[in-house]
Amino acid sequence: MRKLLLTLILFLLPWQVNAAPLTDAEILEHRMILYQKTEASTQVPWYYIAAIDQFERSIRHVRNDLPKPDGITGYYITQEKWAGYTNPNPKDKNPLSIGIFGGIGVDGNGDGKADKDNDEDLLFAVASYISQYGVNDHSFRIALWNYYQRDKSVNAIMTNVKLFRKYNRIDLIEKAFPIPKSHHYSYNSTWGAGRGWGGRRSHEGTDIFASYGTPVYAVAYGVVELKGWNKFGGWRIGIRDINNTYHYYAHLNGFAKDINVGDIVEPGTVVGSVGSSGYGPPGTSGKFPPHLHFGMYKDSGKNEWSFDPFPHLKNWERNSKK
């Protein structure tokens, strides 16, 4: 009843919320209501809007050239693009003059102003852009490419679409430790350590030692992006989550049955088993003790880099239920 009442209030009243005093759960609730409200007024599926918003939020967290997200929405647009590059008033909030100067700013909440700092106006502008192309996955991909001009960004947003559409929610925040707690395993912080096979390089992950055949879990909700052989990682699989973090599982003994590129996984989904594959041509195994190499990579919308997964693994291990 409380949730229904909150929804009605937000749909009927002009809405601008300072997210600072809200809990994480309340922020997600408000965010979802905003997405659904924008869908109702534009007929653009909420998961398209949410997918872009989530991607923008993820890159703003790791970019120094963009302001950090501090509100309900994550989408960022420059004042000049909002008002129009030739607009003599870059802070213009008049929808009519913004349109004349080719800006993308629109009035989404009916208050007569196109305010870049208003969440409803911002998401309405996103939906308006999408609607120019169409509301199916093919048209949406074209819209994304024309806006971002980068395949990896397009694919990351489509990952969000698949997950939001399947689960019909955005609070996909659960995590799992990649090895079942019922099995024996050990690990230490090995990120950044030197490696010599195939040339001097830095270790981009954490090695979790366990017996051959120990199940390997997906740590997060995500979409399988890569599967196959690599001379360094052996049999490996890569999965991207809604935070645009790429999870890399290597040296596997084999893959879970019927898991393929494009599949959706959940925390605790078995993706393969521990092995010692790698350091040679396809099928090479046994050059080192069996272990899972687990890596994490962050994408900024411009480039991708590895970061230390050890603190995350310790946290997931503490909170893991199985």
Burial class (CB in 10 A: 0-12, 13-18, 19+), 318: exposed
Assess contact for 239 and 246: CB atoms under 8 A: yes
Kindly state whether residue 66 falls inside one of the protein's structural domains: yes
Residue 103's nearest CA partner among 120, 115, 112 is: 115
Kindly state whether residue 107 falls inside one of the protein's structural domains: no
Length of the chain, please? 322
- 135: which DSSP letter? S
Q: Indicate whether 151 and 242 sit together in one domain.
A: no
Pairwise CA distance, residues 145 & 155, whole Å:
10
Q: Indicate whether 17 and 163 sit together in one domain.
A: yes
User: Per-residue pLDDT tens for 247-289?
Assistant: 999 999 999 999 999 999 999 999 999 999 999 999 999 999 9
3-state secondary structure of 157: helix
Average pLDDT, the chain: 91
Q: Indicate whether 201 and 310 sit together in one domain.
A: yes
Segment 141-146 long-range contacts (CB within 8 Å, at least 24 positions apart): 144/52
Instruction: Indicate the Cα dihedral angle 26, 29, 32, 33, nearest 10°.
Output: -100
Check pLDDT > 70 for residue 102.
yes
Q: Indicate whether 145 and 57 sit together in one domain.
A: yes
Kindly state whether residue 92 falls inside one of the protein's structural domains: no
Segment 16-24 long-range contacts (CB within 8 Å, at least 24 positions apart): 16/118, 16/119, 16/120, 17/71, 17/72, 17/119, 18/71, 19/70, 19/71, 19/72, 20/70
Kindly state whether residue 175 falls inside one of the protein's structural domains: no
Show the tokens assigned to 233.
Answer: 């990682």
239 beta partners: 224, 247
User: Per-residue pLDDT tens for 5-51?
Assistant: 545 545 454 444 444 478 989 999 999 999 999 999 999 999 999 99
- 319: which DSSP letter? H
Kindly state whether residue 156 falls inside one of the protein's structural domains: yes
Q: Give the per-residue pLDDT at 116.
A: 93
Check pLDDT > 90 for residue 218.
yes
* Single residue among 132, 167, 202 that ends a domain in this structure: 167
Kindly state whether residue 90 falls inside one of the protein's structural domains: no
Kindly state whether residue 278 falls inside one of the protein's structural domains: yes
Pairwise CA distance, residues 131 & 87, whole Å:
24
Tally the domains of the chain: 2
Containing structural domain, residue 228: 185-319
Predicted TM-score of the model (pTM): 0.89
Assess contact for 248 and 205: CB atoms under 8 A: yes
C-beta neighbour count of 97 within 10 angstroms: 17
Q: Indicate whether 129 and 61 sit together in one domain.
A: yes
Q: Indicate whether 138 and 249 sit together in one domain.
A: no
Pairwise CA distance, residues 247 & 265, whole Å:
12
